[in-house]
Every structure is written in structure tokens, then in C-alpha cells.
Amino acid sequence: MVHDAVAVSAPGKVLLAGGYLVLDRAYTGLVFGLDARIHVVVEDIQTRNGVTLNEIVVNSPQFLGAVWEYGYRLTERDGGIKVTPLRVDADLNLNRNVFVETALSYALTYIATVSSPVISPASVTILADNDYYSTPADVANSSATPPRFHNFGVPISKAHKTGLGSSAALVTAFTGALLTYYFPKRILDLSTDSGLRKLHNLAQAAHCAAQGKVGSGFDVASAVYGSCLYRRFSPSILSHHVEPGKAKFASQLRDIVEETGETGSWDTEIRKDAVKVPKGLRLVMCDVSCGSQTPGMVKQVLAWRKEEPEEADPIWTELQQANESLATELKALAESAETALGYDRVRQCFTRIRQGIRSMSEKSGVPIEPPSQSELIDACEAVPGVIGGVVPGAGGYDAISLLIQDKDETVNQLRKLLADWEFKGEVDGEEGGGRVSMLGVREEMVGVRAEDPKAYGDYLP
């Protein structure tokens, strides 16, 4: 069966407030979508001669060797669709991508369970907006207009991420594109609340499995819905289902996605009405070209909290209050008819949040806001028009986030500051970093959306 080509994109994210707290259902996270997106195009292909398994080819042309070929088959005992990585060349080792592989297995299983188990071969192309990765110096310093999707010329494993949530945006756009490609709109339509809810549940399940069943899911929620105030789902919703290919995986997954059976309704809270950006303000991100190992940092902080609750709990409480105050103040400014209210209260919220983060960092021994990041944020906050800044999410050496006045002079002064900034990070006991650059991203209120597949013609293989 031949399907029309489809394209779906999903935004990146910045957890402006709620790092570490968002892992606990007692607390919330203030997460903003970003207008840097992951794009996924799905097209029909013919099965190659000599291949007995049906085949889905996934290609990420911005990186070296980023081609994955998969066979797939329906398993017995309600085990769903089993995905088998294939070698592009018999002499090459398998090049695994756990997020693509897991998302493909989960999506195809759900599709086969709801609709026909006969799934036609397909070609999938993944394209990332340039700000997901640190741009090489020769490209950044060039006067030429960069292409829409830069060819980074390195394997994905060698590319420096900027911390915008590429894996969650990838899984969400990838899953949304496959659902749109194989399902008629009467079964699932991403422009409806029901379609978004099912995509959210399926993408959360796949992303959680690919990560080893850790994380709060705020990044997937933002990829689906855009900017929101987020309270995580109970971990038990996703902790008990079996792996793909095992008995009853397919029916368990369908219950999770459609909120039926023993799973029941998801208890996550996603409040879009609680998040607004006042007119005249915007978010910017500044990349320090280092990156952090987030899972290791999270484990260390949570271990400290478990061992020292009397020390940690007051910090959690104070940070939650500061985070809620920031969301409240931003919304009040956005809805106020008075344009001269000023930003003092918002600045105070940022100060409280940074104090809490530094206290958590010091007592846990985890570099959530390392000294080099503190120095950079302090310098940025001294620029006229900068309201406040944080190391978002889990912190460390990912890109910092700043709330600034949306004025050319503010942006230009920031760029001038960063152009002469020599960043030195304390990475694995050694200095790292160097160039600091402002990414071309800003807040994005809209989540996943359908795109015109014809718009990507020059970048498709």
C-alpha cells in the first residue's frame, strides 16, 4: 500500500524552573518550548531485492554514518512488532540508535494493534534545526548564510549537544510522523486533543523505555504541547509493562496509550494556561560548547536527597515557592494592561532560584551551577535589558537560559559580551569549553505540528 508523504516537527525545550524537583510529583516544572525543532519526513519506498523482511530505512543526513535499516515482523503471543536492526554493509558493525529503534518498535506495535498488522516499507528522514548542536567555529565565523539544516560532518556521537532536548523532540516527531503516515485521520489526527493525548502517551512510553525508565517526562510533554507548567505522571504507569516481543506487550501498550484496562487515566498535569511570556520579553540561550552527563548528575542529587532529607527538603520547598512565583509573575505581567510595571519581582524570582540551585549544588557535591557558569550568568545579568538567567534543567555545562527585553540593543550587547568571553569549564577535572555563542532560539508556545513534506526536498536522500 502506497501512502502520501508526511512531515511532522516537534520543538526543543528549556526547563526554566524546576530542575530535579520535577522528578517528584509533589513539585512542578516551568518548561518552555523552543522554536528549534526536530523534523521527521516519512515516504514510501520499495523493498530491496533479496530482503525477506519488510524494511524501514531511517536516515539523518546531517551526520556521518547516520543511516539505520530495520526489518520488522509481527511476533506471537501478542508481543507486538519486533524490530531488527540490519547492517547497511555486511562488513560493518551494527550502528545502533536506541531512541530511533525503541520509538519505531513502540509506534509500529501500536499501529498494528489498532489498525492492520500489514505495515508497508517506508523511508524516514530526520532533520534537526542547527541550534541543537554546537556549530563548528569555521561555520560560526563565516559570513555566508548557513543552510537551514547544517551538515555537521561528524558522527552523531561526536556532535556537541546544546541541551535543547533533542531525544524527546526526536521521539515525539518520529512517533507523530509514523502515526500520521500509517493512520487515516479518522483514527488519529494530531490537530485534535485526542490525537495529541495518544501521541503524548505513546511518546512518553517509548522515550522512557529508551532512557532506561528514568526521567520525569517534562521534555516529551513540552515536545507535544509546547510551553506549559508540568507535573509528572506516576512512575507506576510505565514501570510494569513488558518489553517489545514479550507476551502481551501489544495489548499493554494499547492500554497505556488509550488509558484503558488496568492502567487507567494518566495523572500527569500539563497546564498551558499557567505559562505566558509578557510582551516585550523573550528567552535566549547561550551555548558554552561543553555539555553535561545529565543522568549521572541526577542520580547523584537524588542519592543525596535520600540520604540527607533534613538538609535537602527545605531547599526543595524554597525552590518550589520561587519557581511558582516566577510563573505567577510572568503571567501577571503578560495579562496586565499596564506596560510600566517593571521587572523587579521577576528579577527577585531569578535571584531566589539561583540561590536555591547553588545551595543544592554545594550540599550535593554536584556541579549544577558550576563557578564558570555563575560567572557567565552574573556577567550577562549586568547587561542592560537582561532580566535574569539560570542554568536550566539539570544544570551543568549545557546552554544557559536568559530572560531579556526583546530589543536589538540588548541582543547586540549580549553578543558583544559573549564574543570576547573565554569560558573555562571544570569537566572531569580538566578545563573545557572555550567559545560562547548565543543560539538563534526563543520561546515557542506551540508543540508538535504537521509540516509540508515538500519543504524538505533539498535535504532528503
Which three cell numbers mark 139? Answer: 561555520
Task: Tell me the C-alpha to C-alpha distance, in Å, between residue 252 and each of 91, 118, 184, 239, 240.
Answer: 38, 20, 23, 12, 9
User: Residue 56 and residue 69: Cα distance in Å, rounded?
Assistant: 6
CB 37 within 8 A of CB 10: yes
With a CB cutoff of 8 Å and minimum separation 6, the contacts of 317 are none
Other C-beta atoms closer than 10 Å to the C-beta of 133 total 22
Residue among 445, 154, 130 nearest 287 (CA):
130
Which three cell numbers mark 147? Answer: 543552510
pTM: 0.91
Three-state SS for 43? strand
Crossing angle between the packed helical segments 193-210 and 218-225, to the nearest 10 degrees: 150
Mean pLDDT per block of 10 residues along the chain (461 residues) reads 88 94 95 96 76 78 92 92 78 75 97 88 95 67 74 87 88 98 94 97 96 88 97 91 91 95 88 92 86 74 95 96 95 77 89 96 93 94 96 88 96 93 62 72 95 93 81
Cα 339–Cα 354–Cα 224 angle in degrees, nearest 5? 70
Class of domain 6-272+446-453: alpha beta
Task: Tell me the C-alpha to C-alpha distance, in Å, between residue 236 and each of 223, 225, 270.
Answer: 22, 23, 18
* pLDDT for res 194: 96
User: Residue 308 and residue 179: Cα distance in Å, rounded?
Assistant: 45
Cα 197–Cα 199–Cα 204 angle in degrees, nearest 5? 100
428-449 b/e with 16+ CB inside 10 Å = b? eeeebbebbbbbebbbbbebbb
* pLDDT for res 287: 85
The residues spanned by each domain of the chain are 6-272+446-453, 281-441
Residue among 109, 126, 125, 107 nearest 117 (CA):
109
* pLDDT for res 337: 64
- Given CATH 3.30.70.890, say whether it is the number of domain 281-441: yes
Q: Is 220 exposed, middle or buried (0-12, 13-18, 19+ CB in 10 A)?
A: buried
* pLDDT for res 117: 76
Other C-beta atoms closer than 10 Å to the C-beta of 308 total 12
CB 170 within 8 A of CB 430: no
DSSP H/E element including 34:
strand 29-44
* pLDDT for res 52: 46
Task: Tell me the C-alpha to C-alpha distance, in Å, between residue 7 and each of 127, 166, 177, 415, 450.
Answer: 11, 17, 6, 34, 6
User: Residue 276 and residue 159: Cα distance in Å, rounded?
Assistant: 33
Other C-beta atoms closer than 10 Å to the C-beta of 189 total 17
Which three cell numbers mark 379? Answer: 556577567
Strand 29-44, strand 228-231: pairing: antiparallel
Q: Is 221 exposed, middle or buried (0-12, 13-18, 19+ CB in 10 A)?
A: buried
Task: Tell me the C-alpha to C-alpha distance, in Å, between residue 68 and each of 6, 165, 238, 309.
Answer: 19, 21, 27, 45
User: Residue 166 and residue 33: Cα distance in Å, rounded?
Assistant: 12
Q: Is 60 exposed, middle or buried (0-12, 13-18, 19+ CB in 10 A)?
A: buried
* pLDDT for res 430: 40
* Dihedral sign computed on CA atoms, order 20, 25, 28, 32: positive
CB 210 within 8 A of CB 220: no
Q: Identify the DSSP state of 44.
A: E
* pLDDT for res 49: 58
* pLDDT for res 88: 57
